[in-house]
Amino acid sequence: MIKLLTIISVLTLLNLSFPILVSAQEKPNVKQMIRVSPVILKVSLEPGTEQNYKIKVDNLLDTPLPLKASVEGFDASDEEYGVTVSDQSIASPLMDWISLDEKDAILPALTSRDFNIKIAVPSSVPIGGYYAMIFFTPIFPGVPVSSKIGVLALANIAVAEQKNQADIVTFNFDKVLYEKSPLLTTIRVKNTSLNYFTAKPTLTIKPLFGQDLTFELEDKTILPGKIRRWQRAFDLGNLYGGIYTATLSVSLENGDYIYSTTHFIGFPVKKLGLSLLFLIVSSYLLIHRKRVKKAVRLLFKGQ
């Protein structure tokens, strides 16, 4: 029975040397390898046109960097940050419209190169959102750990004065009754228009008494037909007793908003318990004030 297991990997390419492996507790000042810019290419396309863009790639190593460029299909895979990529078109044909002037290149040490991206849009295409991912992959044959870096291309084919439209699918809190903060809020917004856009929620919480509180959440891009989710815990400090009204406004760009309102109840048990006790004692004293007065007089004057 053979009882020895060996796993061997090899690193030999162009005399490239990397820092020595270290333990997780001691993170090295790692020299970075590659930089791409822009990393999100937001473009507006027109049918029947050919549009050109550049992506700058920097080799940050002090050795030459062999590089492969490729275009892949892209789509969102969940409501948060998940993505699907494939060497086939997925949700849109943008991948098929993109061509690169160079698919293989060697970047000399510490240099940059512009990769020219040509997008040829067919003359008859539906309006809507189109997406693809352009990858740059350092090529080190035989190495067991490799990396690639993606540039996201988001394109819209739109008509003038087109309005973005969306629905607030979910706007709620994790409880109806809160004794104290934090309040966990879930917001889900669906893009019901044909183009992608960025949505930015703002939450205003108004107590029955006291001042309004406003919270701005981050803006996120929503692809057509997709839902994006925001989940956030808000600390309102000490809650007042009573009904709170929460109003959500979601900016859809160009000053357009959609709104939704919900409610929750603040019920700080200790605070309300003390108030209730005070109320009971006060009521008792008020109702039996003659008897109480008599008792106090008896206590202090003895008559």
Partner 1 sequence: MRNSIIFITIIIFIIPFPALAGPTSTNYELKDYTFGGGGTTKSDSTNYSIFGVAGEVEFGKPGSTTYKAGTGLIYTMQANVPGAPTLSNPATNYDRLKFIIQNGGNPTDTLFAIAISDDNFITTNYIQNDNTVGTVLGAEDWQTYANWGGATGEFVRTLAGNTTYKIKVKSKRGNFTESQYGPESAAITTSNPSLTFGISSATLTFNNLNSGNSYTDSTKTTVLTTSTNAYNGYTIYGRNTGLLTFGSETIPAFASPNSAPTVWSGTGFGYTTDDNNLAGGTADRFTTGGPKHAGFTTSAPGDPLADHTAVIEDPTVTNEQFTITYRVSGDSSTKAGAYTNTVIYVVVPVY
Give residues 186-205 in contact with partner 1 (rule: CB under 8 A). Answer: 198, 200
Report which secondary-structure segment, H or E, holds 300.
Answer: helix 289-301
Comparing CB distances to partner 1, the nearer of 66 and 268 is: 66
Comparing CB distances to partner 1, the nearer of 81 and 209 is: 81
Say if strands 98-100 and 65-76 run parallel, antiparallel, or are unpaired.
unpaired
CB 97 within 8 A of CB 118: no
Comparing CB distances to partner 1, the nearer of 164 and 244 is: 164
> Angle CA(295)–CA(296)–CA(298) in degrees, nearest 5?
65
Q: What Cα–Cα distance (Å) separates residue 230 from each residue in 169, 190, 254, 274?
A: 12, 12, 21, 37
DSSP state, 160? T
Q: Which stretch binds partner 1 (CB under 8 A): 18-26, 97-105, 116-124, 175-183?
A: 18-26
Amino acid identity for residue 18 in this structure: F
Work out how close the CB of 136 gets to partner 1 at its nearest, in angstroms, rounded to a whole number: 10
> Closest Cα partner for 65 from 118, 1, 138, 114?
138
Comparing CB distances to partner 1, the nearer of 173 and 196 is: 196
Angle between helices 269-287 and 289-301 (to 10 degrees): 80
Residue window 64-103: x/- pattern of binding to partner 1, with contact defined by CB under 8 A: ------------x---xxxxxxx-----------------
Among 146, 192, 261, 275, binds partner 1 (CB under 8 A): 146
Is residue 229 close enough to count as binding partner 1 by CB under 8 A?
no
Comparing CB distances to partner 1, the nearer of 149 and 265 is: 149
Among 168, 204, 219, 232, binds partner 1 (CB under 8 A): 219
Is residue 4 close enough to count as binding partner 1 by CB under 8 A?
yes
CA–CA separation, 65 vs 31, rounded Å? Answer: 14
Say if strands 220-222 and 177-178 run parallel, antiparallel, or are unpaired.
unpaired
Copy the structure tokens of residue 276.
């209730």
19-48: contacts with partner 1 (CB under 8 A) = 19-24, 27-40, 42
Is residue 148 close enough to count as binding partner 1 by CB under 8 A?
yes
Among 91, 95, 132, 133, binds partner 1 (CB under 8 A): 133
Comparing CB distances to partner 1, the nearer of 24 and 299 is: 24
